[in-house]
Amino acid sequence: MGNLLQEIRDNRPLWLLAMVPVLFIVDHLAPNAHTLLFVLSILAIFPLALLLSHSTEAVAGRMGDATGGLLNASLGNLTELVIALTALRAGEYALVKASIAGAIVTNTLFMLGASFLLGGLKHRVQEFNRVNARFQSSLLFVATVAILIPSAVTAADSIAMSTFTRQLSVGLSILLIVVYGLGLLFSLKTHKEIFGQQEEQGGEHAPLGAALATLAGATVLVALVSEIFVESVQQAAVSFGMTPAFVGFIIVALVGGAAEMASAFSGARKNRLDLSVGIALGSASQIALFVAPVLVLVSYFIGPTPMDLEFWPGAVVMIFLAAMTVVLVTAGGHSTWFVGVLLLMVYVILAMTLYLLPPQVQ
């Protein structure tokens, strides 16, 4: 506990944890102040995501290579998963899907673009391991393609059949989780040296008990905060003039990925781009191979009706272009600040499109 307090004291962003009780109080006193609750819940999720990420690493660090790696890999997107599960339970399927799509696009274009830009402003030309990057970007591309095939095929053929889409989504989800499991076997067991350099050494860790308690506590808090967030987001979006697609794609994705972004940016500044590329591509792959199928399967138990994996065509285009762009940009193993600007430009264009898009088409 002392460790946790010290960590909070040393780490400015964690001061925002004070927003968590504030949020709960405001929610109790003024449950209809949607805009305020929306802003407060974003401010509260951010430090919780950081805490979740730190404690996951701490627990993983104590658990030995294989189990720790498994934990780290599975809980890497825990914040996104908890937010999406809350939205799922509330039946907000459009928000869930937008946040899946947005997490892939944000992790690839924004996280990587900002890493390249921040790193490039400090270092003239940055190099990263091309073999690793290519391996991970192939994995990302294939994972993205896999998740998009049903949407792409049905969009191309202009069909909208719930039975077909639902059966396919379940089959696809099981397949993706099996492949995700094989991927863990590959990266943690048979070929772990390929992925060896991605994990940042976090210095001394908290003791296991404290770390586990922090992990559990932060998860519960994220879940509670997410509930307020999901309830307030749609109405707040309206009052800010934002479309639901924009909220799911951009806001939720940025909030949910804040912790990983902090690590990726810090890696880039320290000229350790392999770390940034690994986090960005790895996280995006994990969303496609693990988070998305888990949500589909879980929807059969906790959602009002089952959720399928069919994205709206514009989202398909965006995910596909983001994956393509990143694959091409990372193929060379070099980066400069302008490459970062280009990736961010694509991200801003997507955000602009979503912001201006009339709500009824999403």
Closest contact distance (angstroms) between CB of 338 and its own copies is 4
Return the number of the residue (50 or 140) whose C-beta is nearest its own copies: 140
The residues, ordered by sequence, that sit 6+ positions from 188 with a Cβ below 8 Å of its Cβ are: 65, 66, 69, 70, 73
Closest contact distance (angstroms) between CB of 296 and its own copies is 14
Closest contact distance (angstroms) between CB of 80 and its own copies is 22
Per residue in 138-175, is it b (16+ CB within 10 Å) or e — as a string? ebbbebbebbbebbbebbeeeeeeeeebbebbbebbee
Return the number of the residue (96 or 179) whose C-beta is nearest its own copies: 179
Return the number of the residue (36 or 357) whose C-beta is nearest its own copies: 357
Closest contact distance (angstroms) between CB of 107 and its own copies is 17
Distance CA 254, CA 240 (A): 17
Closest contact distance (angstroms) between CB of 81 and its own copies is 22
Q: What is the DSSP letter of 195?
A: G
Angle at 260 between CA 327 and CA 257, to 5 degrees: 90
DSSP per-residue string spanning 184-197: HHIIIIITGGGGTT
Footprint of its own copies (CB under 8 A): 124-125, 130-131, 134-135, 137-139, 141-143, 145-146, 149-150, 152-157, 159, 161, 164, 167-168, 171-172, 175-176, 179, 182-183, 186, 190-191, 312-314, 316-318, 321, 324-325, 327-329, 331-332, 334, 336-339, 341-343, 345-346, 348-350, 352-353, 356-358, 361
Closest contact distance (angstroms) between CB of 123 and its own copies is 12
Return the number of the residue (109 or 224) whose C-beta is nearest its own copies: 109
Return the number of the residue (255 or 343) whose C-beta is nearest its own copies: 343
Closest contact distance (angstroms) between CB of 195 and its own copies is 11
CB atoms within 10 A of CB 15: 11
Return the number of the residue (154 or 276) whose C-beta is nearest its own copies: 154
The residues, ordered by sequence, that sit 6+ positions from 258 with a Cβ below 8 Å of its Cβ are: 45, 46, 49, 50, 79
SS3 127: strand
Return the number of the residue (17 or 155) whose C-beta is nearest its own copies: 155
Distance CA 67, CA 73 (A): 10
Whether the CB-CB separation of 108 and 281 falls below 8 Å is answered with yes
Return the number of the residue (25 or 341) whose C-beta is nearest its own copies: 341
Closest contact distance (angstroms) between CB of 190 and its own copies is 7
Whether the CB-CB separation of 32 and 24 falls below 8 Å is answered with no
Q: Which two tokens stand for residue 229?
A: 């967030």
Distance of CA 235 to the CA centre of its chain: 23
Q: Which two tokens stand for residue 46?
A: 């951010």
Closest contact distance (angstroms) between CB of 314 and its own copies is 4
SS3 357: coil
Q: Kindly state the helix (H) or strand (E) to which residue 46 belongs, with its residue range.
A: helix 34-62
Half-sphere exposure for 229 (CA within 13 Å, toward CB): 32
Return the number of the residue (223 or 317) whose C-beta is nearest its own copies: 317
